[in-house]
Amino acid sequence: MKVLVVGSGGREHAIVWKIAQSSQVEKIYCAPGNAGISQLAECVPIGAMEFDKLADFAETEKIDLTVIGMDDPLVGGVVDVFEARGLRVFGPRKNAAILEGSKAFSKDLMKKYNIPTAAYETFDNPQEALEYLETAPMPIVLKADGLALGKGVLICQTLEEARDGVKELMEDKKFGSAGDRIVVEEFMTGREVSVLSFVDGKTIKIMTSAQDHKRAGDGDTGLNTGGMGTFSPSPFYTKEVDDFCKKYIYQATVDAMAKEGREFKGIIFFGLMLTEKGPRVLEYNARFGDPETQVVLPRMKNDIVEVFQACVDGRLDEINLEFEDNAAVCVVLASAGYPVHYEKGLPISGLENFQDKDGYYVFHAGTKFAEDGKTFLTNGGRVLGVTALGKDLKEARANAYQAAEWVSFDNKYMRHDIGKAIDEA
């Protein structure tokens, strides 16, 4: 069969890499893809938001299955466009992708169906938000309702910071219309865990747990980024946590969406916080996490295309999802200055070191080819994700940091403490 993947980052490289192992697949396309992805898939120059062009391509090339990697096209309704044209596609429809697309929606859903999450209030009017904040306990969390590249969350320590936050989101419109409405949320503390799952509308199958490192600097300092590294499994995701989430969160979310007439098919990413009072949902995403995917998929035993197909057909209950009893760590190699100002177009060397090395992978987040069509150049803030497996997290971490040295480019930057938290487990 022929498969099309939509997206262009490390997540999509990992998805393409996993699809390439399926015995059912003869050809993979990726729109728009990147230089690394082009080693496994034919990249086609169509943007992820060009829904009609993507559907035209799928129709002309007789694509058997399209997999949407990114949030924006899902929230924008790309799946509805494909389905209206009779094209087979993996991902939630627009009315279900709202689970990620609107924080107010997801909070209201959790409240209505008693899914554990932080207490909150929603505001459309900055004046009312400001009045509420006057007597609210600090610290407090402000969230832009809509998609804001993962940056629309402000943790405010003081009333003054919270007032500035309301101005930034609702009046200065730092994230555009995403800030027309905000959620003001109780501040919680605890460890964060990411849990990815496959969903077919009724059945949910949990993958394994992972943890992201969102801040740019060592010791969780500096600005928020798209993610500087991950590890899987999380040693803090215990059997007790799993039992709680199975009872109160996972199936409850899928059932709630179905009851609301918003049947969810695709990936649900649960961003959890393990608080003293038990696990709480921080956020939902309607797609694979990045860079969580780079540590989760290398540990997955199943043929991923079979799982995608089962989700689309509503027979996920037939699938036995299995993961290796090992661990993986991913260290992101970025360009110094990310996430603010950084150079692009710098030559990358050493990628050949990953060839034929079992248990070591390099997923490309932002790369392109030089004019010679051979030399890899940096083309983004996050450039590569270096993933290594190990029998346990310690071994995987040592392997990943060793492999991170195999590649070089000017201004290469990485965190040196990815997975350090496991020492406390």
Cα–Cα dist 232/392, whole Å: 10
3-state secondary structure of 372: coil
Give residues 106-165 in contact with ligand AMP (rule: CB under 6 A): 118, 141, 143, 150, 153, 155
Cα–Cα dist 19/297, whole Å: 10
- Least distance in Å: CB of 75 to ligand GLY? 13
Q: Would you say 142 or 257 has its CB closer to ligand AMP?
A: 142
Pairing assessment for the beta strands 27-32 and 42-43 based on DSSP bridges: parallel
3-state secondary structure of 269: strand
- Least distance in Å: CB of 390 to ligand AMP? 26
Contacted entry of ligand GLY, ligand AMP, none for residue 283, CB cut-off 5 to 8 Å set by kind: ligand AMP
Cα–Cα dist 369/347, whole Å: 9
Contacts by residues 279-282 (CB-CB < 8 Å, ≥ 24 positions apart): 279/116, 279/193, 279/241, 279/244, 279/245, 279/249, 280/116, 280/117, 280/118, 280/188, 280/190, 281/110, 281/115, 281/116, 281/117, 281/249, 281/253, 282/117, 282/118, 282/188, 282/192
- Least distance in Å: CB of 260 to ligand GLY? 23
**Phi, psi (degrees; rounded to nearest 5) at 59:** -70, -50
Cα–Cα dist 347/408, whole Å: 9
Give residues 188-227 in contact with ligand AMP (rule: CB under 6 A): 188, 192, 214
Give the bridge partners for 279, in sequence order. 274
Q: Would you say 147 or 249 has its CB closer to ligand GLY?
A: 147
Let me know if 43 is exposed, middle or buried by CB neighbors in 10 A (0-12, 13-18, 19+).
Answer: buried
Among 12, 145, 283, 290, binds ligand AMP (CB under 6 A): 283
- Least distance in Å: CB of 53 to ligand GLY? 25
C-beta atoms surrounding 323 within 10 Å: 17
Contacted entry of ligand GLY, ligand AMP, none for residue 188, CB cut-off 5 to 8 Å set by kind: ligand AMP
Give residues 139-198 in contact with ligand GLY (rule: CB under 6 A): 150
Is position 203 an interface residue for ligand GLY (rule: CB under 6 A)? no
- Least distance in Å: CB of 346 to ligand GLY? 25
Question: 408: which DSSP letter?
Answer: B
# residues contacting ligand GLY (CB under 6 A): 7
Give residues 265-294 in contact with ligand GLY (rule: CB under 6 A): 285, 289-290, 292
Q: Token pair for residue 146?
A: 């809509």
Q: Which residues contact 341 (CB under 8 A, 6 or more apart)?
A: none
- Least distance in Å: CB of 190 to ligand AMP? 8
- Least distance in Å: CB of 393 to ligand AMP? 20
Cα–Cα dist 413/225, whole Å: 13
Is position 187 an interface residue for ligand AMP (rule: CB under 6 A)? yes
Q: Would you say 142 or 210 has its CB closer to ligand GLY?
A: 210
Among 32, 217, 271, 390, binds ligand AMP (CB under 6 A): 271
Question: 352: which DSSP letter?
Answer: G
C-beta atoms surrounding 276 within 10 Å: 7
Q: Would you say 188 or 206 has its CB closer to ligand AMP?
A: 188
Q: Would you say 339 or 359 has its CB closer to ligand AMP?
A: 339
Q: Would you say 226 or 409 has its CB closer to ligand GLY?
A: 226
Is position 185 an interface residue for ligand AMP (rule: CB under 6 A)? yes
Contacted entry of ligand AMP, ligand GLY, none for residue 141, CB cut-off 5 to 8 Å set by kind: ligand AMP
Is position 100 an interface residue for ligand GLY (rule: CB under 6 A)? no
- The residues that touch ligand GLY, with contacts defined as CB under 6 A, are 150, 212, 227, 285, 289-290, 292
- The residues that touch ligand AMP, with contacts defined as CB under 6 A, are 118, 141, 143, 150, 153, 155, 185-188, 192, 214, 271, 282-283
